Chain A
Amino acid sequence: MTKDMIVGLLGLFLGGGYALMAWMLPMSAVQDDVGPRLFPLIVGGVAFLAGLVLVLRERALPRENRKPFSFGFREEFSVYVKIATTVVAGIAYGMLLEPLGYVLATLGFMLLLTFLVSSKTVQNLVISFAFPLVTYVIFSNLLNLSLPRGILGEIFPYF
């Protein structure tokens, strides 16, 4: 599987799927308007065609010229672990932000991230505690933008 082949298949599937969904949209209710289907159909068509050209072009290449593509999961395992952890951290951050409040949620987020890339404990702790506190003060108090208070807001209602 080469890079272009993967992109080509993505084009075929995404373009085709999108166009199919567009086809199922209702036609226009208003007399004049072209309708919400036409533009998506064209876009899906472009993606599909681009994918088709890529797939056909790759298949036309002789065997030797094909450059196989791999994500390198084995060689760069630690990098992918970091990426996966960050993804989970990001989603968890989103879910916990409102219940825990900005300061606590960001603290947890930063702790996870700093320890992911560095083993210097003191530095990591300093950054993880300082960042949410400093930014909270600057943005919430100085610039008057609202950040979620969460649990801490219940305990310290006047900050």
Chain B
Amino acid sequence: MDEIFANLAIGFSTALTPMNLMWVVIGGFLGTVIGMLPGLGPATGVAILIPISYSMDPTTALVTMCAIYYGAMFGGSRASIMINTPGDASAIVTCFDGYPMTKNGEAGKALGISAIASFFGGMVGMIFLVFFTLPVAKMALKFGPGEMFSLLILALTATVTLAQGNLMKGFFAMALGFMIGTMGIDPQSGIFRFTFGVEALQEGVDFLVAMIGLYAVAEVFKNYRTVGKEISLDTSTIGKVWVSWKDFKQCLGSMIRSSPLGFVVGVLPGMGGTVATFMSYAMEKGLSKNPEKFGKGAIEGVAGPEAANNASSCGALVPLLTLGIPGSGTTAVMLGALMMLGVRPGPILFQMHPEIAWGVIASMMIGNVVLLLINMPLAIPLVQLLKIPTRIMLPLILGMAFMGTYFLNYSSFDFVLVTLFALGGFLLMKLEVPLPPLVLALILGETVELNFRNAMTISGGNLMFFLERPLSATFLGLAALSLVYFLWKNRKESLRSR
């Protein structure tokens, strides 16, 4: 307990520097804007804004990225409420009751409660985060290559099994990610693999280049379908962005219930804001005394999911910071960006540079407050941004995406890669192949292979090594369990539909 407070003290002293405070505000603001605009998700936003962090020291860069990530969680629901179009997947559920509230003339209340619930969920999530990180980081220090390999396999398998979709297509996506990741020089033997004689591929494919192609540009392709069909938005009738005490008390229960739920869901790889919000909505509707109000403007239907969403983004930071394992596309981008800056999240970070790790945690707590302050009074001006038509947004997004790509490696060949990844990503989306397993396999591939080979060296080529060590066997067992869970869940679905 004392240790936690001591670490928090270090964290706050790092976070409260003027530079870091300034970037929390800027990052939070940019994140809110990005999260708000449909067609531009937090993963894309973080990827494109990375060049800004180049001139910063690693802590400030990490603080800024977390602020953007976090801001996007606040902003995503704005578009859901005002124009029934979610800013990202985790804001879909907010459309269910948020938009009806706008139609009932209660837009101000909806915007207000979504900001307050986000703050609440974030605070609870941060408290859990603080208590969980230290023990997990300490435990992770004892992991050898065998345990790391099995843990990574567990994380990757969970991404396939816990998410929706076809199991085989998920594993295909994962394999594809690994394949792309192995292109380039093999760090342990020094030979070139799968480079097809192309010199530019010798260093391999930059993960962030792939992400910008898969997420930013492919999204633009998807949005080409709806360009020109603009939705009208009337912002004059929003009214005051405020929530009465009575409404707040009504939502208190749903916020208190949904926050821990969101946190736990966020920790698990493969499940994030989207699942958390759906589960919260189902729970609130099920527990409510007036379930028929849900879908017509029930304020709990906005408060619960919003709290769950922010709590889950805190939960997702646990495996990222303590183990270096991302659980979603956005956290994968953050990991990629950090590695580029020379920071390697994981137990070593907590040991060698606690001021970086705890500085980030502390600044997110500050960020939570800052974002609440940004989102309440500035809600109406911010919402005006939703009026920008797609035909202006899309070229701007592409311009920013390509510019951001250039700053990654100063290589114009990367533009070709971005375009190819965008085409591939679009194709995969059409074929309903899930992208998260691909993305995670791509960024974790090198680590997985490294640990695999090291473990094999230690064991002398014995594949059973992974099952002989208890912790490693537990992880693999859990992975198998998640497979069983998936098959059982699908068996129930197909039986029901008969």
Decide yes or no whether A39 CB sits under 8 A from chain B: yes
Decide yes or no whether A123 CB sits under 8 A from chain B: yes
- Is B55 a contact partner of A143 (Cβ separation < 8 A)? yes
* B157-182 near A? 1/0 per residue, CB < 8 Å: 00000000010110110111011001
Interface residues of A, count at CB 8 A: 69
- Chain A 115-159 residues near chain B, CB threshold 8 A: 116-118, 120, 123, 127, 131-132, 135, 139, 143-147
**Neighbouring A residues of B178 by C-beta, 8 Å:** 39, 43
Which of A11, A87, A146 has a CB less than 8 Å from the CB of B419? A87
Q: How many Å lie between the Cα of A116 and that of B174 in the bound state?
A: 35
Question: In the complex where A43-B178, A94-B414 touch, is A114 in contact with B172 (Cβ < 8 A)?
Answer: no
- Chain A 67-125 residues near chain B, CB threshold 8 A: 69, 71, 76, 79, 82-83, 86-87, 90-91, 93-95, 97-98, 106, 109-110, 113-114, 116-118, 120, 123
Shortest Cβ gap from A20 to chain B (Å): 11
- Is A97 a contact partner of B415 (Cβ separation < 8 A)? yes
- Is B419 a contact partner of A91 (Cβ separation < 8 A)? yes
- Is A18 a contact partner of B194 (Cβ separation < 8 A)? yes
Q: How many Å lie between the Cα of A15 and that of B178 in the bound state?
A: 11
Decide yes or no whether B242 CB sits under 8 A from chain A: no
Interface residues of B, count at CB 8 A: 62
* B422-434 near A? 1/0 per residue, CB < 8 Å: 1100100011110
**Neighbouring B residues of A123 by C-beta, 8 Å:** 392
- Is B412 a contact partner of A82 (Cβ separation < 8 A)? no
Consensus secondary structure, chain A interface = helix
**Segment touching A, from B101-109, B337-345, B373-381, B400-408:** B400-408
Which of B189, B396, B398, B433 has a CB less than 8 Å from the CB of A7? B433
- Chain A 1-30 residues near chain B, CB threshold 8 A: 3-4, 6-8, 10-11, 14-15, 18, 21-22, 25-26, 28-30
- Is B54 a contact partner of A145 (Cβ separation < 8 A)? yes
**Neighbouring A residues of B402 by C-beta, 8 Å:** 90, 93, 109
- Is A106 a contact partner of B166 (Cβ separation < 8 A)? no
**Neighbouring B residues of A25 by C-beta, 8 Å:** 191, 193
Q: How many Å lie between the Cα of A46 and that of B423 in the bound state?
A: 24
Q: How many Å lie between the Cα of A47 and that of B176 in the bound state?
A: 7
- Is B431 a contact partner of A44 (Cβ separation < 8 A)? no
Q: How many Å lie between the Cα of A86 and that of B414 in the bound state?
A: 15
- Is B406 a contact partner of A113 (Cβ separation < 8 A)? no
Which of A47, A93, A118 has a CB less than 8 Å from the CB of B391? A118
**Which residue of chain A lies nearest to B411 when distances are taken between CB atoms in the complex?**
A94
- Is B189 a contact partner of A29 (Cβ separation < 8 A)? yes
Pick the 7 closest A-B CB pairs, nearest first.
A94-B415, A47-B175, A118-B391, A90-B419, A113-B395, A94-B412, A50-B172
Given contacts A11-B172, A36-B188, could you give 20 more A-B pairs where the C-beta distance is less than 8 Å? A3-B432, A39-B448, A40-B179, A43-B179, A43-B182, A47-B172, A47-B176, A86-B419, A86-B422, A94-B413, A97-B412, A109-B399, A110-B395, A114-B392, A114-B395, A118-B227, A132-B399, A139-B51, A143-B51, A146-B410
20 contacts between A and B (CB under 8 A): A3-B430, A3-B432, A4-B166, A25-B191, A35-B189, A38-B456, A40-B179, A40-B182, A47-B175, A51-B168, A69-B431, A83-B426, A91-B419, A98-B412, A109-B399, A113-B398, A117-B227, A144-B55, A145-B54, A147-B406
B interface residues (Cβ-Cβ under 8 A, vs A):
51-52, 54-55, 166, 168-169, 171-172, 174-176, 178-179, 182, 186, 188-189, 191, 193-194, 217, 220-221, 224-225, 227-228, 390-392, 394-396, 398-399, 402-403, 406-407, 410, 412-416, 418-419, 422-423, 426, 430-433, 448-449, 452-453, 456-457, 461
